[in-house]
Amino acid sequence: MVGPATHAHLAGTAALLLLVATIPATTVAVVPSEVDALLAWRASLDDPATLSNWTSAAPACDWVGVSCDAAGHVRALRLEGLGLSGGLGSLDTIALPALAILNLAGNNLNGEIPASISLLRSINELNLSSNCFNSSIPPQLGDMPGLQSLSLRNNSLFGDIPRQLCRLLPVRELDLSNNQLTGNLPDCWCKLKALQYINLSKNRLIGNLPNCWCKLQALRYINLSKNWLAGNLPDCWWNLQALHSMNLANNSFSGEIPVTKANHNCSLTLLKLNKNAFVGTIPHLEGCDSLATLDLSHNRFNGSIPPQLGDIRSLINLQLYNNNLTGAIPHQLCGLLSMRILYLSNNRLTGNLPDCWWNLQALQLMDLSRNSFTGEIPATKASHNCSLISLNLAKNSFTGTFPDLEGCNSLAILDLGNNKFHSSIPLQLGNMQNLVSLQLYKNKLIGDIPHQLCELLSVEILDLSNNRLTGDLPACWCNLQALWYMKLSKNLLTGKLPGCWWNLEALEFMDLSDNSFLGEIPLAKAGHNCSLESLYLSGNGFVGVFPQVLRACNSLATLDIGNNRFFGALPPWIVIWVQSMRILRLRSNNFTGEFPFELSQLSQLQLLDMANNSFIGAIPVAFGNLTSMRRPHNMSTLRPLDGLKYWDKIKINWKGQERTFNGKLELISGIDVSDNLLSRCIPEELTKLQGIQFLNLSRNHLSCNIPEDIGSLTCLESLDVSSNGLTGAIPPSMSSLSWLNSLNVSNNLLSSKIPTGSQMQTLTDPSIYSNNSGLCGFPLDMCANTLLSPNERNGEDEDQWLCYWVIAGIVFGFWLWFGMLFRVKAWRCAFLFFVDGVQCKIMKKVSR
């Protein structure tokens, strides 16, 4: 029961509270000198309006990013990500004695980090990351006695890490990553006993890991990746038992990984040692039961995969690719039920996949490519829950029927290329609606291409090349609107291309070469948008004139329609609408008409193959203007074809043999117009094409001389002008072609002596000069004097007289020495004494 006194007390308290509530609220006033310091710094910024409410009209503690303490001092400045630009030199740090937190991350501040920032004696958190500071780290930062967190990452800081930072004894976090710092790792950091976080990644640091860092017992995170560090890991490294994350990737560390101790307490959840030069076997990592990510890829580890890894049940990400691992995959890995990523590619692993493989129902990304696995892929179980998003088994020796992937409807990437699968393509692939990339190349797949693949509306990459597929292309493929890369080459496909083919407007790469397609290339609808950059139709039975549909393909860089039955003249619009052409291969068709001089306007053309057609007329003088062929191509100037996301390819008749060049096609440049009906002279202007490596003009009706400046083609490796009507001498300048290793001038009307020179002397096959009745000299018969020009005869006469004088000098010198030997007594005695000495030595050795 509440008494009258209690009622009176409660009433008094209520009245007091009501009185307090009526008093107006006030904001703590900031010390004027601190306000002035902040306003002065704001005024120094490139765009002061960014801090729009920093004005004297508003209380400083209400300004954006400003926090104050009860005494009215500025306690924290948190201005991250506001787009501030300017410097810090105008910030009066002496005027901010209570500032404990300065966070200016994610702005555009530039210039030097001023040494005066060390005058913030109360600071415990300094974050200047993700700005544009471009100076060395001021040593004075070591004079901030209470600093616990220092972050300068993502700037352009350079120079060594100052040793003065070793004085920051309370520091717990040091992040200097993504700068241009050089020098060694500071060994004095072992004094920083409170240090828990080190990030020095993405710099240019060198040297070894200091042994004394093993004393940093509080260390939980260390990232030294993407530097130039080297040496072995210290044996004491596993003493860091509080360490949760260690990333030493992208360095030059070497040696073996130290073995863990028997009673080692391992707290690691992440261990990344990839892209180094570690050797030996994969460490067992016993005791690291919390490890979730293990990346040892791109090293030199050998031996087998340790079964003990199967005991780390927390493992989610295991990457061991690009090593020298051997043996089979241990079945113990099937126990890693949490595994999501498994990359074992590019090793020397063998054997079959374990039958328990599909137990890994959490697995999303698996890459076992570039090994020597054999056998069939284990079948999935009826109740199997497949989470795979990417499956790459390419470049192994898997056999049997196409693997059963039922239930793997989340697959986006499936690459089974370069194996020995020998069945038809299963209809169930059409159920994988999420497929973006389907690659089944270089197998032994048979049968028709199932029309169910038309259901893959998200597919962007489709490669079924190098198989034994038959039948026509399904017309419904025109529905694959996302497709940009399609390769069906080297199969047994037949029939005509579907009329709707050009509806695939996203298509950039199409290769239908080496099949049995026939008929004309379908026309496109008006307003067709063509994205093609590479088109291969060679080795089929296509007919008709040059495909009119290509007129809309303004980005076309590679066109190979060779080995078909196209006919007629080349249209002049090719140089107007397809200016991007770099590789043009029309060989082995029935094209006719004058040799098209318009091709000389294709400034980017580097490979031209029009061999084995019926072109007539002269080689255009304007071909000397082919800009891309006028400059040498080498690795230093190599760049991928603009915008292409794939390696291109082309077949070239190279040094008498047809070869396929893949990849870096910008290194190859040349012209092949052999087997046509071309006449007249070889234009001297062709000698301006100093970047070409092959020139084939053989089996035409060319006349006149070989151009005198042929030696200007300094990159030329192969020259074939055989089976023409060329006359005159082989130009002496040809001897200066230091790269020339394939030459054929046979079956012409050439005469005079074959030029000599360092590279010409390596061409020892006489057949390359055959059926030229007037040629002589190495490697043919010696030239008769009457066949030589006056200059050549004078040269040979001088050589003969030189030999005569040398022989005469040797004979005269010998008799002079012999005569003096018998006329001068001292010489004769010395000579006989020498002969007696030699005879005694010989007799002693014989007597032994």
Q: Is the model's pLDDT at 195 over the cut of 60?
A: yes
DSSP state of 481: T
How far is Cα 451 from Cα 428, in angstroms, rounded to an integer? 11
Percent of the chain with pLDDT over 90: 69
Mean pLDDT of the chain: 88
Q: Which regions of 599-682 does DSSP assign to beta strands (E)?
A: 607-609, 614-617, 648-654, 657-663, 670-672, 677-681
Please report the DSSP string for 240-303 in residue order. Answer: -TT--EEE--SSEEEEPPPPPPTT-----SEEE--SSEE-SBPP--TT-TT--EEE--SS--EE
Question: 8 exposed, middle or buried (CB, 10 Å; 0-12, 13-18, 19+)?
Answer: exposed
Q: 3-class DSSP state for residue 359?
A: helix
pLDDT digits (tens, 9 = 90+) for 626-659: 888 988 765 444 444 444 456 677 788 777 777 7
Q: Report which of 615, 749, 725, 726 is spatially closest to residue 671, judged by C-alpha positions.
A: 615
Q: Is the model's pLDDT at 388 over the cut of 90?
A: yes
Percent of the chain with pLDDT over 70: 86
Q: Is the model's pLDDT at 292 over the cut of 90?
A: yes
Which residues partner with 701 through β-bridges? 679
- What 3 state SS string does 733-786 have? HHHHCCCCCEEECCCCEEEEECCCCCCHHHCCCHHHHCCCCEEECCCCCCCCHH
Phi, psi of 607 (to 5 degrees): -135, 120
Q: Is the model's pLDDT at 8 over the cut of 60?
A: no
pLDDT digits (tens, 9 = 90+) for 415-436: 999 999 999 999 999 999 999 9
Beta strand 85-86 with 413-415 is unpaired
Q: Is the model's pLDDT at 797 over the cut of 50?
A: no
pLDDT digits (tens, 9 = 90+) for 235-256: 888 889 999 999 999 999 999 9
For the ranges 7-16, 147-156, 553-562, 743-752, the lowest mean pLDDT is seen at 7-16
Q: How confident is the model at residue 776 (pLDDT cuts 50, 70, 90)?
A: very high
Residues near 813 by Cβ (< 8 Å), separated by ≥ 6? Answer: none
Decide if 666 contacts 606 (C-beta within 8 A): yes
Phi, psi of 491 (to 5 degrees): -130, -160
Please report the DSSP string for 424-459 in residue order. Answer: BPPGGGGG-TT-SEEE--SS--EEEPPGGGGG-TT-
Q: Is the model's pLDDT at 6 over the cut of 70?
A: no
Here the tokens at position 77 are 């400045």
Decide if 522 contacts 546 (C-beta within 8 A): no
pLDDT mean over 312-323 = 97
Which amino acid type is present at position 658?
E
Decide if 186 contacts 209 (C-beta within 8 A): no
pTM: 0.83
Better pLDDT: 762 or 646: 762
pLDDT digits (tens, 9 = 90+) for 196-229: 999 999 999 999 999 999 999 999 999 999 999 9
Radius of gyration of the chain (CA): 40
How far is Cα 558 from Cα 550, in angstroms, rounded to an integer? 12
Q: Is the model's pLDDT at 612 over the cut of 90?
A: yes
pLDDT digits (tens, 9 = 90+) for 328-383: 999 999 999 999 999 999 999 999 999 888 889 999 999 999 999 999 998 876 66
**Per-domain residue ranges of the chain:** 509-788, 789-824
Which amino acid type is present at position 631?
R
How far is Cα 707 from Cα 222, in angstroms, rounded to an integer? 67
pLDDT of residue 287: 87
pLDDT digits (tens, 9 = 90+) for 465-488: 999 999 999 888 889 999 999 999
pLDDT digits (tens, 9 = 90+) for 90-126: 999 999 999 999 999 999 999 999 999 999 999 999 9
Phi, psi of 448 (to 5 degrees): -75, 160
Beta strand 509-511 with 534-536 is parallel
Question: 812 exposed, middle or buried (CB, 10 Å; 0-12, 13-18, 19+)?
Answer: exposed
pLDDT of residue 667: 74
CATH 3.80.10.10 fits 509-788, yes or no: yes
Better pLDDT: 23 or 511: 511
